Structure 1
Amino acid sequence: MTFNPVKPPKSSELVMEQLKARISSGEFAPGTKLSSVVDLAAGFGVGRSTIREALSALKAIGLVEIRQGGGTYVSAESKEEPAESQSLFANAQSIRELLEVRIILETGCASMAARNRTEDDLRSIGEELALMEASLHDEAKGEEADVRFHLKLAAATHNSLLIPMMESLSERLHDSMRESRRLWFYGERAEARRLLREHTDIYDAIRQQDERKAFEAMSSHLLKVENVLREAIAGFDTSVRNP
């Protein structure tokens, strides 16, 4: 007799499901401000990090808004069942396909940029890195700087074919980053800082003109994002099979 392995749910998942149920039932109406992280942690009998993770998960599926310094609110357009979640995770497969192209293309770009970059290129890429750091609490601005970082890195290759290839992907690249950031629960400052560190590693390798290090740093960064997407796709498949 064989069975499928059972993975016990994390505390944050249990908290998230309870809060989601109350939002879906209308107990927490749109616009309602949730209790503070401290109060929620005390109410659920868990640590604050567990509450933050649960709230980030709810934010990722569009059920709550986390306002920096202002608390957490039920989204004004919350639905009984997060339809946005369906479209978000349904897109994960095509996002993963785009990411596979990015891994092939951008690791080569990083390596070539390390070899061919000029001081002007380095200065331009560094400006986007600085903007990413300044936008740790602003998803939209951080996302824009992230896209420009990758496009400027491609420009630093000074390859007449690679540059237009990356530019042609720019719109899809923007969509990919937006969705992967949300899947990564980007509302957590710790995750934003980790993302910044990965981009800094890429920048440092290019600055040092270390082609191998630049290739590996870009590969490591994109593979981490791919792992997040794989988990999201697996989770979506499970929810479809077991509604």
Structure 2
Amino acid sequence: MAFDQVKPLKGYELVMEQLKGRILSGEFAPGTKLASVVDLAASFGVGRSTIREALSALKAMGLVEIRQGGGTTVCLELPKEPGSADGAALFANAQSIRELLEVRKILETGCASLAARNRTGADLRSIEEELLQMETYLHDEAKGEEADVRFHLKLAGATHNSLLISMMESMSERLHDSMRESRKLWFYGERAEANRLLREHSDIFEAIREKDETRAFGAMMSHLGKVEGVLHKAIAEAENGER
């Protein structure tokens, strides 16, 4: 008699499933603020790192929002079919943005380099505005994401190359989708702080300000490479989970 192999759940998965069940049942209604990491750890009898992994997994499913210093809140709009934090759903999300990321690496590194060569003082002020917006909305994911997209589009504008500008503008909607999904994977895979993303954009800006084409190219490649690393990790974990 053959049986399907059973994969034992990790500690954070057990916590995540309990919280997920209470959210989907309505016990934790949309907008509800969850207990602190310290209190949840005490309630479940686990370490804080286990709680953080569980919350990051719920964030990847679109069930909660996590704000540094603001705690964790159940999303006001829950997905109709919340996926799994790992396995097929996460694998699909990673695969769906990998090709776009490959295009971005080719296109945006060139944009950064050319912007460093051609930018004007007005371009610098315009790009810096979005950098300041990203800092202002460091813990507001939606507004921070919008400023992030505008930063990349204005950087393309600083190239003063009409074809590059047109290509970036045509990708605007996909850029939104890419950044939204990669941020979910980023926070699930590494729980990286928003400050790191801000620093990476600041490095790109400073290179353009200094008219350093090589440094601008490298800073953009490094930024996109970090996201690519998270995607590869997500895909590898998903593939291992399917075996």
- The interval holding the TM-score normalised by the smaller chain is 0.7 to 0.9
The CA deviation at 1:48 is 3.5
State the match for 1:179 in structure 2.
Answer: 181
Match of 2:183, as an amino acid?
R
What CA distance in whole angstroms lies between the structure 2 residues aligned with 1:141 and 1:203?
20
Alignment of 1:73-92 (within 5 A): 73=74, 77=78, 82-83=82-83, 87=89, 89-92=91-94
**3-state DSSP of counterpart to 2:193:** helix
103, 107, 116: which one pairs with 1:114?
Answer: 116
86, 101, 104: which one pairs with 1:102?
Answer: 104
Q: Deviations over 1:127-163 (max 9, x none)?
A: 0000000011111100000000001001100112111
Q: Deviations over 1:15-59 (max 9, x none)?
A: 430122224555984352543211223345555354334312221
State the match for 1:54 in structure 2.
Answer: 54
State the match for 2:15 in structure 1.
Answer: 19
Q: After the TM superposition, which of the residue ranges 34-43 and 202-211 deviates more from structure 2?
A: 34-43
State the match for 1:133 in structure 2.
Answer: 135
Q: TM-score, normalised by structure 1?
A: 0.81
Q: Deviations over 1:71-127 (max 9, x none)?
A: 444877478x83375555413213111100100111111011001000000000000
What CA distance in whole angstroms lies between the structure 2 residues aligned with 1:23 and 1:41?
13
CA 1:162/1:55 → structure 2, altered by over 3 Å: closer, same or farther? same
The CA deviation at 1:62 is 2.2
State the match for 1:5 in structure 2.
Answer: none
State the match for 2:211 in structure 1.
Answer: 209
CA 1:118/1:190 → structure 2, altered by over 3 Å: closer, same or farther? same
What CA distance in whole angstroms lies between the structure 2 residues aligned with 1:83 and 1:126?
37
Q: Deviations over 1:174-225 (max 9, x none)?
A: 1111110111118x99521100000000000000111111000000000110
**Which structure 1 residue ranges, 5 or more long, are not aligned?**
1-8
Q: Is the 8 A contact 2:134 2:198 kept in 1?
A: yes
Match of 2:148, as an amino acid?
D
Match of 1:21, as an amino acid?
E
Match of 1:69, as an amino acid?
G
**Which structure 2 residue ranges, 5 or more long, are not aligned?**
1-7
Q: After the TM superposition, which of the residue ranges 28-37 and 143-152 deviates more from structure 2?
A: 28-37
Q: CA RMSD in A?
A: 2.9
Q: How many residues align?
A: 228
Q: Is the 8 A contact 1:55 1:64 kept in 2?
A: yes
CA 1:182/1:101 → structure 2, altered by over 3 Å: closer, same or farther? same
**3-state DSSP of counterpart to 1:83:** coil
Q: Is the 8 A contact 1:136 1:192 kept in 2?
A: yes
What CA distance in whole angstroms lies between the structure 1 residues aligned with 2:108 and 2:24?
44
What CA distance in whole angstroms lies between the structure 1 residues aligned with 2:84 and 2:53?
19
Q: TM-score, normalised by structure 2?
A: 0.81
Alignment of 1:1-20 (within 5 A): 14-20=10-16
Among the aligned pairs, what percent are the same residue?
69
Q: After the TM superposition, which of the residue ranges 59-68 and 224-233 deviates more from structure 2?
A: 59-68
